[in-house]
């Protein structure tokens, strides 16, 4: 996953949400590549545990800060990842979720404008809502409920994209927009509430696997190392201001995922069917042609392989009782 190659021009890079699942992997990769990294996080859904291995590194700095408050830092690049990604977390304080996506993104764009940094926004497949186009291309405008339980996140991320494009057109800010599809791997929180971590933790603890609805809804799961590689390629790309889908096009039903988790963990757990949450998208799969053509990127890890790595991680975390 990491590269030890020293970059010809080391950069100062700000990663907001750097103590979260994706952010911690991104920070690790950037430090390993020779860059100086400032990891900014309010630790709402992230944890210092994710960045322990980096804390002693002179090229790494942790800053406890909430992007709802302005901040000025001298950096060359900003990866704006700060925002809880799990429905359980982002719905626990929806007003805060909107503030993070709107006020937080304005603050990061203001910073990028002032110090002339390139800025990448972690957007999401949720901007497509419950999509009526399948697979989803970047040109699709989506089917989003503006007043539902997921709206704080979906509409928040849509407005963050609007802000990125307006700061680009109005102020010449050098923006990148990654539309990230469901990603999983080590460093997800065991209490995160997303499907991969839930099912693995339940299987390892020999508890029933919670399946919402009948489990026929689909998702496409991308392993974290593939996703981080895609983010870095997008940041490095010249003149690519339009959104780019990053995700694994291999599509699975939630039932298929549960069966694979049971097989790989050897768990005797049963399935426990629960009501489907409101506005839960039925199908989701990225069209990644743009990323393939513009970045030469496509995912490499298969679901089975990525699940094994993730199971090992949770096995260790749970056995240490941390
Ligand atoms: P995560 O919840 O593990 O990480 C988010 C991090 O942001 C956490 O460390 C949290 O403490 C921090 N944070 C939240 N609000 C903040 C604020 N106001 N100020 C400072 N820090 C704040 O989630 P993740 O899966 O690592 O997601 C990272 C980013 O990628 C998010 O923006 C998310 O919307 C986006 N994304 C992730 C996925 C995925 O499948 N993992 C899919 C689509 C989009
Ligand atoms: N899901 C499930 N059991 C769980 C958690 C989630 O069946 O314990 C379902 C959820 O209803 C959704 C899918 O799995 O259909 C993916 O959910 P997740 O929260 O991981 O991501 P998102 O819905 O944002 O894609």
DSSP 135: S
CATH architecture of 12-184+223-249+284-300: 3-Layer(aba) Sandwich (3.40)
Nearest CA to ligand 2 atom 12: 280
CA of 116 to the centre of ligand 2 (A): 38
The C-alpha torsion from 311 through 314 and 319 to 322, rounded to 10°, is 180
Whether cis (ω within 30° of 0) applies to the bond prior to 135 is yes
In terms of C-beta density within 10 A (0-12 exposed, 13-18 middle, 19 or more buried), how is residue 294 classed? middle
CB 32 within 8 A of CB 4: yes
Structure tokens of 37?
Answer: 């990294």
Q: Which atom of ligand 2 is nearest to the CA of 194?
A: 20
Q: What are phi and psi of 59, to 5 degrees?
A: -90, 5
Structure tokens of 191?
Answer: 């209490």
17 lines ligand 1 (CB under 6 A): yes
Which of 14, 18, 19, 21 for a ligand 1 pocket mutation test, highest count of atoms within 8 Å of Cβ? 21
For 226-235, b where at least 16 C-beta lie within 10 A, e where not — what string? bbbbbbbbbb
CA of 89 to the centre of ligand 2 (A): 13
Residue ranges of the chain with pLDDT lower than 50? 1-5
Which pLDDT belongs to residue 3?
A: 43
Q: Which residues pair with residue 253 across a beta bridge?
A: 218
Q: Which atom of ligand 2 is nearest to the CA of 126?
A: 24
Question: DSSP alpha helices (H): ranges in 16-149?
Answer: 21-32, 87-92, 94-99, 105-115
Q: Which atom of ligand 2 is nearest to the CA of 198?
A: 8
Distance CA 64, CA 54 (A): 15
Which pLDDT belongs to residue 9?
A: 83
Looking up tokens 């704006």 gives 80
Query: Going by C-beta distance under 8 Å and a sequence separation of 6 or more, which residues neighbour residue 241?
Result: 165, 168, 174, 175, 176, 177
Is there a catalytic annotation at residue 79?
A: no
> Per the residue annotation, which of 90, 128, 153, 167 is the catalytic one?
153
83 lines ligand 1 (CB under 6 A): yes
CA of 104 to the centre of ligand 1 (A): 12
Which pLDDT belongs to residue 262?
A: 98
CA of 270 to the centre of ligand 1 (A): 31
Q: What are phi and psi of 128, to 5 degrees?
A: -85, -10
> 118-124 and 77-80 as β-strands: parallel, antiparallel, unpaired?
parallel
């Amino acid at each position: 996953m990491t590269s030890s190659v020293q970059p010809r021009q080391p950069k100062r890079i700000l990663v907001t949400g750097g103590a979260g699942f994706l952010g911690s992997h991104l920070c690790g990769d950037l430090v390993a590549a020779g860059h100086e990294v400032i990891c900014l996080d309010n630790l709402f859904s992230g944890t210092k545990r994710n960045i322990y291995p980096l804390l002693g590194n002179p090229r790494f700095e942790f800053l406890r800060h909430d992007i709802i408050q302005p901040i000025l830092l001298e950096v060359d690049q900003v990866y704006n990842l700060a925002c809880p990604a799990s429905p359980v977390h982002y719905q626990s304080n929806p007003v805060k979720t909107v503030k993070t996506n709107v006020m937080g993104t304005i603050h990061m764009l203001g910073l990028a404008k002032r110090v002339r940094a390139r800025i990448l926004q972690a957007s999401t497949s949720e901007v497509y809502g419950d999509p009526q186009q399948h697979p989803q291309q970047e040109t699709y405008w989506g089917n989003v409920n503006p007043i539902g339980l997921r709206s704080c996140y979906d509409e928040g991320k849509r407005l963050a994209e609007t802000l990125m494009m307006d700061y680009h057109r109005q102020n010449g800010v050098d923006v990148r927009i990654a539309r990230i599809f469901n990603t999983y791997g080590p460093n997800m929180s065991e209490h995160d509430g997303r499907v991969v971590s839930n099912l693995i933790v339940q299987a390892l603890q020999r508890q029933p696997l919670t399946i919402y609805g009948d489990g026929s809804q689909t998702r496409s799961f991308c392993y974290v190392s593939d996703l981080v590689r895609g983010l870095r390629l997008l940041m490095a790309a010249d003149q690519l201001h339009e959104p780019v889908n990053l995700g694994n096009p291999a599509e699975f039903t939630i039932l298929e995922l549960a069966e694979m988790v049971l097989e790989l963990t050897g768990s005797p757990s049963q399935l426990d069917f629960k009501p489907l949450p409101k506005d839960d998208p039925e199908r989701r799969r990225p069209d990644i042609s743009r990323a393939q053509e513009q970045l030469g990127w496509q995912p490499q890890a298969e679901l089975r392989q990525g699940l094994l790595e993730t199971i090992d991680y949770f096995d260790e975390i749970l056995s240490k009782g941390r």
